[in-house]
Amino acid sequence: MKRTRLIVFTALAVLVLALSALAQTDPLASWNDGSAKQAIVDFVRATTDQSSPKFVPPEERIATFDQDGTLWVEHPMYTQVMYCLERVRPLVEKKPKLKKVEPFKTVFSGNREAMAKFSMKDLEKILAATLTGMSVDEFNAAVKKWFETAKDPRWKRPYTELTYLPMQEVLSYLRTNGYKTYIVTGGGQDFVRVYSERVYGIPPEQVVGTAGATKYSYAKDGKPFLTKEPKLLLNDDNAGKPEGIHLMIGRRPYAAFGNSTGDRQMLEYTKAGDGGRLAMLVLHDDAKREYAYGPAQGLPDTKVGTFTQALYDEAKKDGWVVISMKNDWKHIFAFEQ
Amino acid sequence: MKRTRLIVFTALAVLVLALSALAQTDPLASWNDGSAKQAIVDFVRATTDQSSPKFVPPEERIATFDQDGTLWVEHPMYTQVMYCLERVRPLVEKKPKLKKVEPFKTVFSGNREAMAKFSMKDLEKILAATLTGMSVDEFNAAVKKWFETAKDPRWKRPYTELTYLPMQEVLSYLRTNGYKTYIVTGGGQDFVRVYSERVYGIPPEQVVGTAGATKYSYAKDGKPFLTKEPKLLLNDDNAGKPEGIHLMIGRRPYAAFGNSTGDRQMLEYTKAGDGGRLAMLVLHDDAKREYAYGPAQGLPDTKVGTFTQALYDEAKKDGWVVISMKNDWKHIFAFEQ
């Protein structure tokens, strides 16, 4: 009897210690204390505590995240645009006629200065040629292969390591509290789906992005397959984000995260719902550890991920929370630690 | 000590009994023993047993179900078409000019014989007028309200009670075994999403259907809202089903269920994947308890839910399993029991 008691007491003591250790682990350890971190914690408490007037039933807990500039680095160029430019060479080798046709000629020449001057139409031609006209399986395999060797020029690391650790913590924290996390990106839906599960723990069916049509047909052996067509179904940016959320999810998010004017409508739509809603914007104000661009708050204006002063003012007026990378984030990347 | 032992033994005995009761409850109790029921049980075993060569990791377990004629009654008319026809009256009362314009004039007159002769173009006009041009919230409220009173003319019950009990069991059985269940319907995505969670336990984000564009704009008070536009994005029938699955889910299903030629490509696409895949077709051969139509196997040809002999032959050739409502289903509806 004495021995049994001892075992029970020991087991209980271990359990209590383990539970209190669990309780003390900060799920947002890479965040500095401040209003941004507090807003996230307050939102989760208010929407998951059954006694709270803002309680949200588990099945309605939806949180949406922009990708480029919100979950990972978008500078100096979107990763997907890097992919498309690097796919031009194998494409031209397969179809040598393209070597004489712009904008492929310029890309093939490797003249970065000329590439920087590409018009929207030039880019569209490159995107159409490198993202469509092949089967879904071929496309997935090509993207997967590219990510195995491609590296960001500044950090010399695979692009998939350039995700923001504090945002990875937000994703996990929300999921632990019953939220379904979605990516809602202006980037290609099929492109992001290739790595979303591995990189963010977000399955392909929870990626909403710019999407084209596919075409069902049969191979010679009778097996059906889908071909990616150069026909746009959803331009998932600006107003296209709430429209895409309705198409793909059919529920209004309770929390939404972005970093540029392309996310404005998604955040407006999220905040316009009843009860407790969280809207947050990442401000890239850390030139040393990442990049500083805006042009909100006098930051330099760049082509990629524009955060205007008007967006900043709307955020302040409507109770969206601006995250300062410089002040709110203890660490930016997991590899820094 | 003696008392403690007694309590422990009693608790263990209760547990063992409870577990064995659980194990003995047939998850497919409304199915007669036979090859159809066996195919479902075999599929689940093969794909969820870790030691099976056909084991499927939980995150990849996707099963897709057509709705009309597969999960609930589609005769004599799709429920959504009933909704649209019944919405014409309030619409004409709001816009009296329509009273003189076909096909609204005929619907308003109540002449069922004339309505049965409507062309595809007539129906499209009615669908566009009753399913678009209002906000998403207004549409959802109208559909929800309609279902509260609308009744099927034969059974005099709400349409949402006319789901097939054996298929509800399949949905639950698959979910219990880690499958994410999706509806993939030629019907309106927004329409089905209104009741999918309540009726099938399938959340709105797991409903893929025929979908139109929405338009984001602002009300006078500055609040944003989405309007349903008469612009088709996805015609989720025939080849549109695998295309819709790719768009909305991004993974190939391991199991797919249908009942008509509109489901052919979804089943082909499902079966074309590696490993263990299940494709099933419900054959409506039970004129007494439900309806009998085809025209496979000499059943009468009707406009709704066509199951051709060619589809039947493809099923037999490619190892799809045909479910005979008459022979495989012990009960059809829950209210029958």
Binned at pLDDT 50, 70 and 90, residue A337 comes out as confident
pLDDT of residue A335: 95
Whether B83 shows a pLDDT value over 70: the answer reads yes
Binned at pLDDT 50, 70 and 90, residue A213 comes out as very high
Whole-angstrom distance, CA of residue B131 vs CA of residue B143: 10
Binned at pLDDT 50, 70 and 90, residue B160 comes out as very high
- Closest CA of chain B from A51, distance in Å: 24
- Closest CA of chain B from A174, distance in Å: 18
Which residues are B232's β-sheet partners? B212
Whether residue B243 lies within 8 A of chain A, CB to CB, comes out as yes
B268 to A203: CB separation less than 8 angstroms, yes or no: no
The two tokens of residue A28 are 């947002």
pLDDT of residue B112: 84
pLDDT of residue B302: 84
Whether residue B302 lies within 8 A of chain A, CB to CB, comes out as no
pLDDT of residue A12: 61
The two tokens of residue B38 are 């066996």
A239 to B249: CB separation less than 8 angstroms, yes or no: no
Q: What is the pLDDT of residues A272-301, one digit of tens each?
A: 999 999 999 999 999 999 999 989 999 998
pLDDT of residue B187: 97
**φ, ψ of residue B136 in degrees (nearest 5):** -55, -40
Whether residue B248 lies within 8 A of chain A, CB to CB, comes out as yes
pLDDT of residue B290: 97
- Closest CA of chain B from A326, distance in Å: 32
Whole-angstrom distance, CA of residue A284 vs CA of residue A294: 7
- Give the other-Cβ count within 10 Å of A204's Cβ: 21
Whole-angstrom distance, CA of residue B145 vs CA of residue B159: 13
Whether A23 shows a pLDDT value over 80: the answer reads no
- Give the other-Cβ count within 10 Å of A168's Cβ: 18
Q: Which residues of B touch A318 (CB under 8 A)?
A: none
Residues 6+ apart with CB under 8 A from A118: A103, A106, A126
Whether A4 shows a pLDDT value over 90: the answer reads no
Whether residue A233 lies within 8 A of chain B, CB to CB, comes out as yes
From chain A residues 199-228, the ones with a CB under 8 A of any chain B CB are 203-205, 207, 211, 213-216, 223-226
A203 to B59: CB separation less than 8 angstroms, yes or no: yes
Element (H, E) at A322: strand A321-324
pLDDT of residue B6: 62
Q: Which residues of B touch A266 (CB under 8 A)?
A: none
pLDDT of residue A309: 96
CA distances from residue B55 to A105, B46, B47, B60, B178 in whole angstroms, order as listed? 48, 6, 4, 10, 12
Q: Which DSSP state fits B238?
A: T
Whether A20 shows a pLDDT value over 90: the answer reads no
Virtual torsion, Cα A147, A153, A159, A163, nearest 10 deg:
180
Average pLDDT of the residues of chain A: 93
Residue found by looking up tokens 């949200």 in the block: A56
Whether A54 shows a pLDDT value over 60: the answer reads yes
Nearest chain A residue to B5 by CA: give it. Answer: A1
H helix runs in A177-229, sequence order:
189-193, 196-200
- The percentage of residues in chain A with a pLDDT greater than 70, rounded to a whole number, is 93
Binned at pLDDT 50, 70 and 90, residue A336 comes out as confident
pLDDT of residue B305: 83
Virtual torsion, Cα A259, A212, B211, B101, nearest 10 deg:
110
B59 to A197: CB separation less than 8 angstroms, yes or no: yes
Q: Best of A144, A220, A248 to disrupt the B interface by mutation (most B CBs within 10 Å)?
A: A248
Q: Which residues of A touch B211 (CB under 8 A)?
A: 247
Q: Best of B191, B194, B247, B274 to disrupt the A interface by mutation (most A CBs within 10 Å)?
A: B247
Whether residue B273 lies within 8 A of chain A, CB to CB, comes out as no
pLDDT of residue A6: 63
Whether B235 shows a pLDDT value over 70: the answer reads yes
HSE of A230 in the Cβ direction (CA atoms, 13 Å)? 9
Helix (H, G, I), strand (E, B) or coil at B186: strand
Whether B1 shows a pLDDT value over 60: the answer reads no
Segment B310-331 shows an average pLDDT of: 97
**φ, ψ of residue A39 in degrees (nearest 5):** -60, -40
Residues 6+ apart with CB under 8 A from B229: B132, B212, B213, B214, B215
Pick the more confident residue, A18 or A107. A107
The two tokens of residue A317 are 């007026």
ipTM, two decimals: 0.92
pLDDT of residue B228: 98
pLDDT of residue A13: 63
Cβ contact A31:A166 at 8 Å: yes
pLDDT of residue B113: 87
Q: Which residues of A touch B233 (CB under 8 A)?
A: 233-234, 247
Residues 6+ apart with CB under 8 A from A11: none
> In terms of C-beta density within 10 A (0-12 exposed, 13-18 middle, 19 or more buried), how is residue A128 classed?
middle
Q: Which residues of B touch A250 (CB under 8 A)?
A: 189-190, 193, 204-205, 207
Q: Which residues of B touch A2 (CB under 8 A)?
A: none
Whether residue B236 lies within 8 A of chain A, CB to CB, comes out as no
Whether residue A77 lies within 8 A of chain B, CB to CB, comes out as no
pTM above 0.80, yes or no: yes
pLDDT of residue A204: 98
Binned at pLDDT 50, 70 and 90, residue A263 comes out as very high
Q: What is the pLDDT of residues A221-253, one digit of tens each?
A: 999 999 999 999 999 999 999 999 999 999 999
B248 to A216: CB separation less than 8 angstroms, yes or no: no
pLDDT of residue B247: 98
Q: Best of A8, A61, A194, A205 to disrupt the B interface by mutation (most B CBs within 10 Å)?
A: A205
pLDDT of residue A233: 96
Whether B277 shows a pLDDT value over 90: the answer reads yes
Q: What is the pLDDT of residues B36-46, one digit of tens each?
A: 999 999 999 99
Whether residue B251 lies within 8 A of chain A, CB to CB, comes out as yes
